[in-house]
Amino acid sequence: MDLSIPSLGPGRFASPLRFGGATETRFRTDEDRIYYRSHTKDADNGGVILSFEQAGPRETIFFEPGRTTVGIVTCGGLCPGLNDIIRGIVNQCAQQYGITKVYGFRYGFEGLVQRYGHVPLILRPESVAEAHNFGGTMLGSSRGPQNPADMVDTLEEMGVDILFVIGGDGTLRGAAQIVQEIARRGLRKAVVGIPKTIDNDIMYLDKSFGFETAFAEAVRAVKCAFTEAKGAVHGVGLVKLMGRDSGFITCFAALAGNNVDYVLIPEVPFALDGPRGLLESLRQRLLKRGSAVIVVAEGAGQELMAGAEGTDASGNKRYGDIGLFLKDRIGAFCKERKMAVNLKYIDPSYIVRSVPANAHDNVYCSRLAQAAVHAAVAGKTGMLVGRWLGSYVNLPMELVIKGRRKVDPSRELWHSVLESTGQPANML
């Protein structure tokens, strides 16, 4: 793995942080590193010990603050904490570095293409002062790629030196294309990503921002499902949560609620029929306990049904609705066996992603924003910021977009889920 961070060049100006505040700033250098592995088997990659560049302020910076223009764009689906990130970037630029010209591009990458006619917002500390109290994004968002050449044209025309891109896997791939186009033209512009996904599926991160808020909100839905299930004869509470390819939010919501009987995620296949299948296991559990709660990730069990055709605006394959599919199959199965069942189906997806960030995510977003600004003004580009093993690090964008983080069925998280639910380890 190449873990080096691209740079526009060495620092040319003394950082304003050298002269402000009563507390001495602890500057970082590119030689300050965080180990990739925390356990004793940390010699890999041909015997080389891998490490990430530690995030933080540099003593000299590449951009002259008074002459620097910044742009911010949010893309993809909504997620708790987007406004916190925007607010954090604007405040860090203005209050720590004296950068006062900050544009907010509206409605995702569309805002960087002039033919759409989305007029950028001028962002100042006073205009974002209350942004963190609201869900969603004050800049708006959109899905789907745009022509990198058109987007760089806009950056050039508006004199934007630094672009902060806030989004998930597809957004970061788009940001990487912007970096390539900037390099092709020989321009000196920095592009820094802040990874966003409530699915928590970004590679090489402890967690993505908004995840804790999202699964805390999901826990409320799971508790409602439990209440509904317990209040009926052979009651079943079925909850569908977000998670196209990774089941983290489903696993954490089940563990936090501690009242779930089955967790179904994309990483662990299951059968519906047969003596080991979900339906027969559910029937036995209802006979034994009288009720059951099932939590399923949206990407689970896609092989069991005819998936929707085509792709969405982000280029992702359209998935069938596993929640409604299970609802119908459970009902038909029990009816066939003349077993009364009271099933309540809950899909809180848009509620989960639209709420404001909680206090813990507030702090996380603020620190990610600070780290992103420190990196950008130092001339780092083609990278994103994140937290790894409890420390904030700079990660190469090209490395992160090569895959998605998934729940490993052989590791502790899934084993904890199995212990909590008591569900069969193998339902095939």
Residue in 331, 324, 375, 330 with CA at minimum distance from that of residue 93:
375
CATH number of the domain within which 47 lies: 3.40.50.450
* From 169, 199, 261, 361, the catalytic residue: 199
DSSP state of 239: E
- Inside any domain, residue 7: no
Note whether 75 and 175 are same-domain residues.
Answer: yes
Note whether 247 and 296 are same-domain residues.
Answer: yes
pLDDT by 10s per residue, the chain, length 428: 789 999 999 999 999 998 765 567 899 999 999 998 876 555 555 567 889 999 999 999 999 999 999 999 999 999 999 999 999 999 999 999 999 999 999 999 999 999 999 999 999 999 999 999 999 999 999 998 999 999 999 999 999 999 999 999 899 999 999 999 999 999 999 999 999 988 898 999 998 999 999 989 999 999 999 999 999 999 999 999 999 999 999 999 999 988 999 999 999 999 999 999 999 999 999 999 999 999 999 999 999 987 666 776 666 778 899 999 999 999 999 999 999 999 999 999 889 999 999 999 999 999 999 999 999 999 999 999 999 999 999 999 999 988 899 999 999 999 999 999 999 999 99
Q: Tell me how far apart the alpha carbons of residues 237 and 223 are, in angstroms, rounded to a whole number.
A: 9
Q: Tell me how far apart the alpha carbons of residues 162 and 178 are, in angstroms, rounded to a whole number.
A: 12
State yes or no: is 347 an active-site residue.
Answer: no
Note whether 63 and 43 are same-domain residues.
Answer: yes
- Burial of 73-91, coded b for 16+ CB within 10 Å and e otherwise, reads bbbbbbbbbbbbbbbbbbb
- Per the rule left: phi > 0, alpha: psi between -120 and 50, beta: everything else, 56 is left
Note whether 229 and 345 are same-domain residues.
Answer: yes
Q: Tell me how far apart the alpha carbons of residues 70 and 121 are, in angstroms, rounded to a whole number.
A: 12
State how many domains the chain has: 2
Q: Tell me how far apart the alpha carbons of residues 308 and 321 are, in angstroms, rounded to a whole number.
A: 9
Note whether 53 and 201 are same-domain residues.
Answer: yes
Note whether 28 and 116 are same-domain residues.
Answer: yes
Strand segments (E) across 190-288: 190-195, 235-241, 262-264
Note whether 275 and 393 are same-domain residues.
Answer: no
Note whether 97 and 222 are same-domain residues.
Answer: no
| Domain residue limits at 177 | 13-208+355-400
Q: Tell me how far apart the alpha carbons of residues 11 and 6 are, in angstroms, rounded to a whole number.
A: 13
- Inside any domain, residue 426: no
Note whether 146 and 252 are same-domain residues.
Answer: no
**The pTM of the whole model exceeds 0.85:** yes
